[in-house]
Amino acid sequence: MELKEMDGSEAVSIRNAYKKFGRHVVLKNLDMTVMEGTIYGLLGPSGCGKTTLLRCLVGRCQLDSGDIYVKAKWRRKVGFMPQELALYQDMTIAEAFNYFGRLFGMKWGEIEDRGSEMLKLLDLPPGCRLVGSLSGGQQRRVSFAVALLHNPELLLLDEPTVGVDPILASSIWESLIKMAHVHHKTIIITTHYIEEARQANTIGLMRRGILLAEEPPTHLMHRMNCTSLEQAFLQLCQQQQTTDANADDDSSLRSYPNCSERSPVPIRTQSGWSSQRFLAQLVKNLVWNLRNYQMLIFMLMLPIAMAFLVNETIGNERFHSVIGIASLELKNGFASCNTRDLHFNCSFTNRPLSCLYMDLLREKSFVMEEFSSVEEARAAATRGKIMAYLSFAENYTASVFQRIEDGSGTTEDILDSSTMYAWVDMSNLWLSTILRRDLIYSILKLLQDLFVNCQASVKLATIPVKFETPVFGKKDPSFLHFSIPGLMTTFCFYLPVMFTTGALISEKSIGRLERSLIAGLNLVEVVAAHAVIQFMILGIQTALMLIVTYAVYFNPLTGSVTLLIILLLMVENLGMCYAFFLSVLCDSERLAAFASTGTIVVLFTVCGTVWPVQGMHPVLQYFAWALPVQPAVESYRAISVQSRYLDHPVVYKGYLSVFIWTTIIVLSSFIIAQIKKIGK
């Protein structure tokens, strides 16, 4: 329905307004008229739709049907005081004035003059006081001052007197009356306290989304033959109850109009992008970070701590595991290792070979414990005292020499007595794998030493495989070298997710973002201001992690550092965009925290940090290229240890994947923000 041309003295006019949330009808065919230079008291019980109506007026919520006319067409001509405080506790009063003043488009001088006026008018403490250090009443007055700061034509106050002492409430009403009658401002004020609205020029009594009456308070009391507004309201409610006895959501929905055409937003913002608003937001974020310097220090220290911890906890293969030795050739136990009375054909040793073998194991950090029998060692292993136990036959050393001399003619008995038997606790994959590897390599080393000393070819004691210089990487790679690409990339994704989600959701959940948006800020400016600071912090975090990983711990890095830094910054940008996505999607900090933690757990599992991607389920392997972060991990590995460049498919696929995911996430965030009307 087209709204007729308004009478010149009408500041606000609403016709046939309908609004529902889900199946809950909040506004039902509501009409409302507010004359210029008057105070309009919008009264009604909690939940009747007062705030929804004000939000529709400032364009934060759109009517499903009906028309709204607001004479003050621009946001800077409208002052809005929300029900919640919606102020930054870490700002001083003067900084709050500067921030909102700049969003309203005011000049510095104007802000200073109006700010001092507000401090006097509302009897506020000096501007250097932190908002968070003020009393509840003082904070509400600061909130009121912010709404008045830019001298708006239309003032919308959502319950300004709730929780305020009667003296302050009456001084607020005095100021309002002066503003309306002397300065010709139009004021719409919502309140639960029906009697205080006697001072308004017009009152609108609202119940269940309908205006029961709209007239001057004295007229209403006279018409209803009552001495108080409270009584008049009760009578009107009773009348509504009898005519509307069966009104419930279902019946309201049946008569609900077709919502194909929505009325345009009644108030507009000055321009798409404003450097002044962007800078105001940027300075506000900077001040917040500097005031919360403990948080800043934590953000910078966390990646260093993580990098140090990773290097100190992963990859070290000196486990100091205890190995039980049941060597029957050592008649006096380990003390027999000190005897040097053996004589063989070559001069290799005059000590038992089991002793030499134990020396080699000790070099690898293993600790030997002596047992007189295999049974005794087994009992200790079962009790968890030792990780493995080895047994050597009574004639072990002689049998080994015999076996070498006899070659293919060696008897079964000699083969058995020249074999070391090992029982290993296999319940811990890494410990047991490394132990078994070291047991094998140590016996090979023992035999090779023996062959060399006996003038035989060392090749005879070598398994017939020779590993030449590695194509890429080191000859003795550690698990850490494998994990670094996955760990670095997932950290760089997670850190911005954690910090950005927390910052944005907390702004959103206590109404501060909404208040700033109503003051004219738009979502692009919010994102840009946040991104500038985040990138500064992320840049430092990345540099610190790289320094610790490669300059302090000297992990292998053969490729281009520039390519690595660009890749990590792109991943951080992806993390930040994902955080924006979560903060528009989730309404509570808890939900966002669950979602971000859940994401990182999944990414950590599938991006090849704990196990190579080649070992994933074939279906997952097939789609691995489509997973976020995973191709970036492979790209990191290819750059850092294979010295590959952007012309290699593995490298460029990583960059491409991050770019595509960033685009998808940014677009999805803006679509969800549009649907949820977050940035409007």
Ligand X SMILES: Nc1ncnc2c1ncn2[C@@H]1O[C@H](COP(=O)(O)OP(=O)(O)OP(=O)(O)O)[C@@H](O)[C@H]1O
Residues near ligand X (CB under 6 A) are 21, 26, 44, 46-52, 83
The contacts of residue 379 (CB under 8 Å, 6+ apart) are none
Instruction: Indicate the pairing of strand 388-392 with strand 421-424.
Output: antiparallel
Looking at the Cβ atoms of 46 and 246, the one nearer to ligand X is: 46
Residue the block writes with tokens 């053969």: 558
Looking at the Cβ atoms of 26 and 420, the one nearer to ligand X is: 26
CB 425 within 8 A of CB 387: yes
Looking at the Cβ atoms of 51 and 640, the one nearer to ligand X is: 51
DSSP 547: I
87 φ, ψ (degrees, to nearest 5): -120, 160
Looking at the Cβ atoms of 13 and 51, the one nearer to ligand X is: 51
Q: How far is the CB of 239 from ligand X (least distance, A)?
A: 20
Q: How far is the CB of 515 from ligand X (least distance, A)?
A: 15
Q: How far is the CB of 129 from ligand X (least distance, A)?
A: 29
Q: How far is the CB of 48 from ligand X (least distance, A)?
A: 4
| Strands lying side by side in the sheet with 421-424 | 367-370, 322-327, 388-392, 421-424
Looking at the Cβ atoms of 32 and 103, the one nearer to ligand X is: 32
Burial bucket for residue 387 (CB in 10 Å: 0-12, 13-18, 19+): buried
Interatomic CA distance for residues 73 and 156, integer angstroms: 14
Looking at the Cβ atoms of 21 and 430, the one nearer to ligand X is: 21
Counted residue by residue, the chain has a size of: 680
Looking at the Cβ atoms of 50 and 284, the one nearer to ligand X is: 50
Looking at the Cβ atoms of 276 and 509, the one nearer to ligand X is: 509
In the chain, DSSP finds a helix count (H) and a strand count (E) of 23, 13
Q: How far is the CB of 213 from ligand X (least distance, A)?
A: 16
Looking at the Cβ atoms of 80 and 357, the one nearer to ligand X is: 80
Interatomic CA distance for residues 209 and 410, integer angstroms: 101
DSSP 319: -
| Closest to 101 (Cα-Cα) out of 367, 363, 279 | 279
Q: How far is the CB of 81 from ligand X (least distance, A)?
A: 13
Looking at the Cβ atoms of 477 and 511, the one nearer to ligand X is: 511
Looking at the Cβ atoms of 24 and 385, the one nearer to ligand X is: 24
| Closest to 205 (Cα-Cα) out of 83, 49, 60, 12 | 49
Reduced 3-state DSSP string for 444-513: HHHHHHHHHHCCCCHHHHCCCCCCCCCCCCCCCCCHHHHHHHHHHHHHHHHHHHHHHHHHHHHHHHCCHH
Q: How far is the CB of 35 from ligand X (least distance, A)?
A: 23
Please report how many Cα atoms fall inside a 13 Å half-sphere around the Cα of residue 93, on the Cβ side: 28
Interatomic CA distance for residues 307 and 488, integer angstroms: 8
| Closest to 206 (Cα-Cα) out of 12, 54, 38 | 54
User: In this structure, what token pair is assigned to residue 27?
Assistant: 């506004």
Report, in this order, helix, strand and coil percent for the chain, each rounded to 5. 55, 10, 30
Q: How far is the CB of 517 from ligand X (least distance, A)?
A: 15
Looking at the Cβ atoms of 83 and 506, the one nearer to ligand X is: 83
Interatomic CA distance for residues 112 and 187, integer angstroms: 24
Q: How far is the CB of 148 from ligand X (least distance, A)?
A: 21
Looking at the Cβ atoms of 52 and 662, the one nearer to ligand X is: 52
Q: How far is the CB of 189 from ligand X (least distance, A)?
A: 12
- The H or E element containing residue 604 is helix 589-606
CB 436 within 8 A of CB 424: yes
Reduced 3-state DSSP string for 11-47: EEEEEEEEEEECCEEEEEEEEEEEECCCEEEEECCCC
